[in-house]
Amino acid sequence: MNSFSEKFKIEVGEYCERLESGLLQLEHDPENQQIIGEIFRIMHTMKGSGGMFGFDLLSDVTHDLESLFELFRSGEQIIDSEVISFTLKSIDCIRNLLVEEPTENHQLLAKTLKAETVQQITRFKKQVSEKEIDTKSIYSESSSAQLKATYLISFVPNEDILRNGTNPLYLIDELNALGECNIQVSTDHLPSLNEIDPLKCYLHWYLFIATSENVETLRDVFLFVAESSKIEIEKVSNKNVIQQESVLAAFINTKSNNDVWEIDEIAHEENTTDINGNSKEPGVLLKIEQEQEKSAVFGQITVDSVRVDSDKIDRYMNLVSEFITTQSRLDQVISVIRNPELTAISESWAKLNKQLRDNAFEMSLVPLQSLEIRFKRLVFDLSKSLDKEVELETEGLDTELDKNIIESLTEPLLHIIRNSIDHGIETKSQRQSINKNPVGKIFIKASTVGCYVLIEIEDDGEGLNEDKIREKALNNRLILASEKLTKEEVIQLIFAPGFSTADHVTDISGRGVGLDVVRKSIQNLRGTVVVTTQRGKYTRFSIKLPLSLSIIDGLLTRVGDNYFVIPSSVVSKLFAVKQDQLKKDFRQVIEIEDVQFPYLNLREEFEPNLPLPDEQQLVAVNYENQLFGLIVDDIVKEYQAVIKPISRFLKAQEIFSGANILGSGDLALVIDTNKLIQKYS
Amino acid sequence: MPKQILIADDSESIREILTFSLERAGYQVLAASDGREAYNYLDGRSIDLLLTDYHMPNVNGLELISKVRQTDTYKYLPILVLTTEKQGDIVREAREAGATGWLLKPFSNEKLIQTLRKVIR
């Protein structure tokens, strides 16, 4: 929280400067409504925000200053130089009042300033009611825990309630959270199907609720709709009678006969009432019984799959990862103690750990299939509404991904498909005129490549128009006319923020927007997205994502005094190399076992000043279907690395994708070999 | 997919604290520093709630609400207005412009989430 209040202080400083310059301008131009409006707004903001960041004195004094400027804003009064110099003086006070823990002096200062402001106000407006100057809402404390009482709430929403974005079901949900509910929907006002206006709400609700909250809290639920809707809250009983359906039924009965209900008159009947026989409101009650019966039946079926709250899986994953971190600390200690018995235990523990990790992994993996139905639905709906015929073909949707990744991936994928259908695939007649199959095709293919999952979405539409993209990018000032870009670079511009190629705006994919968001979401998952295209043939989006975000098998290496992790999944072979072998060639290529490797000595990148050791290790990693050598001083071990995200200060660089804390407490940075090689090759 | 909330407020610190609180509560946040910028965000992307300040430079909260209600895509978007307790008129005006509800400043994190849950799940 502290950084917020620091930030706020800086902001108040800026506000004060703006106030000062505004006030000085007003000196010459006292009726400038724009400036007065600006001052009013700043006062208002400081008042509102001050309270939130704990600067109560600030919001106190600006409250009155705001009232003062309200007089001028409405044009009721004209500001004079006395007010201007007074306000300038109060700005100095405001700066002084910006302390987290005000002393008595501060209190006094605020009090004086307030009094003076009020004086100024009264000078302009003889009658200012006490109330208006000093209103500060005090939040009512929620009622102390009471015994539960039962209420009947009838909620008759205004027919037009949906139009301003209200969803009445949320309100019902909110009530449900406040206590035990018995909810009944009245469809009495539902017109016949051909008369229904889908934008209107015809339903009424009757809710019995047993709650320890007071009536005000219940009313508060309907705060936003209270004015337009009919809401009645009546007490049924001072006890919780929600389960006693006979009492509820009796209440409704009494109400419908317009009789007077005596609270708790019949509550004593609770033990003797026969639920089935005497129920006079069969609708709800019967239903509830049936539900109960059903659940009794289902209760006997044995269950072989369990639904688990995804938060629980996340927590489990997190615990497993902590477990593995602890394991590596244990290893560290044992390597010093060298107790054979302990070593044996640790080894078998490590094996269990690995199984535990794999198990946890499997649990959190979800096949892409879970999204298939949404893809299909989208293709169906869109092609209908755009009058295009589109066929969806998929391959490898059984590929599994971390469920967190899938969640964050859904929207980007749908967005790409939407774009493909809307902008990519031509209309039926267009396709026919250029001798293409009138039925367009979207092809989604997923596969696992090393530790990555590759998802390709391809349409057989008109492809991207490089010239048009270039032109748009120029118009939108994303590039300069002088910039020389390759075709590939131009095409990737569609991912730039604020880019748009659609000739006309359609409902479906807006204005060609959102590809910037798509790329950002994918980058947030440590993935990449590129687009390839051929005019008139296809557009293909290729998304590459890591399998999981949290634990990887890695090779711990040392360069100088620092440790780096190279993901095992990209490592092909390890070789020891001598310095004179490396020095032989200036093109940074080394020949081992008749194979030539381009290589990069990490020493040169990370520790250029230390003298080179005689022998180093070459880690041959896979890079774009060939081998590339990364030279390190030493290979420490292969292990499971729990990856922690790196802080935002390191976000600007790309070659490290995460960090791992070693048993010794040292830090090992995880190298994204693709990015590293790209950068230096 | 987390719900996405669009914030429009000219105070950076309010934007930050809202972003912080909302993201911690599991929402995705887009932040705009005035009504115009906020309106520009309404370009077809999926937005589940607009949380707008009343006083803002360029396009103010009221104008923003009216403009949103005139779009096809966001006609029924839930909108909450940020305001302070004194301005009963603002609440009325905002409602007439089509706001779903309002949130009184200063507010606590609990109050924010509680109010939000009236209009978005």
- On whether residue B121 sits in a domain, the answer given is no
Percent above pLDDT 70 for chain A: 85
| pLDDT class of A239 with cuts at 50, 70, 90 | confident
Residues of B in contact with A166 (CB under 8 A): 78, 100-101, 119
Q: How large is the average pLDDT for residues A314-331? A: 81
- On whether residue B105 sits in a domain, the answer given is yes
Where in the sequence is the domain holding B27, given as residue range(s)?
4-116
Which helix (H) or strand (E) segment holds residue A353: the answer is helix A340-364
pLDDT in tens, A373-407: 778 878 877 887 888 888 889 898 888 888 778 88
ipTM score assigned to the predicted complex: 0.79
Classified as helix, coil or strand, A543 is: strand
The answer to whether the CB atoms of B12 and A4 lie below 8 A apart is no
Q: What is the pTM of this model?
A: 0.40
- On whether residue B62 sits in a domain, the answer given is yes
Classified as helix, coil or strand, A107 is: helix
Q: How large is the average pLDDT for residues A79-86? A: 86
- On whether residue B99 sits in a domain, the answer given is yes
Shortest CA gap B57–chain A (Å): 8
Q: Which of A348-357, A450-459, A520-529, B61-70 has the highest mean pLDDT?
A: B61-70
State the pLDDT at residue A323.
84
- On whether residue B69 sits in a domain, the answer given is yes
Taking only the tens of pLDDT, chain B with its 121 residues reads 788 999 999 888 888 889 988 988 889 999 999 899 999 898 888 899 999 998 888 888 889 999 999 988 888 899 999 887 655 677 888 888 888 888 888 888 888 888 888 888 7
State the pLDDT at residue A296.
39
The answer to whether the CB atoms of A7 and B12 lie below 8 A apart is yes
State the pLDDT at residue B109.
82
Q: How far apart are CA A351 and CA A506, in angstroms?
A: 56
Interacting residues of A221 by C-beta distance below 8 A, sequence separation 6+: A171, A174, A175, A178, B118
| pLDDT class of A667 with cuts at 50, 70, 90 | confident
The answer to whether the CB atoms of B1 and A407 lie below 8 A apart is yes
Which of A36, A38, A164 is most worth mutating to test chain B (most B CB atoms within 10 A of its CB)?
A164
Q: How far apart are CA A513 and CA A412, in angstroms?
A: 12
Nearest by CB to A513, from B45, B82, B119: name it: B45
pLDDT in tens, A596-630: 888 888 888 888 888 888 888 999 988 766 788 99
| pLDDT class of A293 with cuts at 50, 70, 90 | very low
State the pLDDT at residue A650.
73
- On whether residue B40 sits in a domain, the answer given is yes
Write the DSSP symbol of residue A371. G
State the pLDDT at residue A556.
93
pLDDT in tens, A485-537: 888 888 888 888 777 655 444 444 443 446 877 887 887 776 788 899 988 88
Other Cβ atoms within 10 Å of A674 Cβ, number: 20
Residues of B in contact with A132 (CB under 8 A): 86
Write the DSSP symbol of residue A465. -
Alpha helices in chain B (DSSP H): 12-24, 35-41, 61-70, 88-97, 109-116
CATH code (residue B73): 3.40.50.2300
pLDDT at residue A452 above 80?
no
Chain A 248-267, residues with CB within 8 Å of chain B CB atoms: none
State the pLDDT at residue A548.
65
The answer to whether the CB atoms of A510 and B73 lie below 8 A apart is yes
Domain count, chain B: 1
Burial level of A209, CB count in 10 A (0-12/13-18/19+)?
A: buried
Question: Would you call A141 an interface residue with chain B, using a CB distance cutoff of 8 Å?
Answer: no
Six token digits for residue A370: 């879970």
pLDDT at residue A662 above 50?
yes
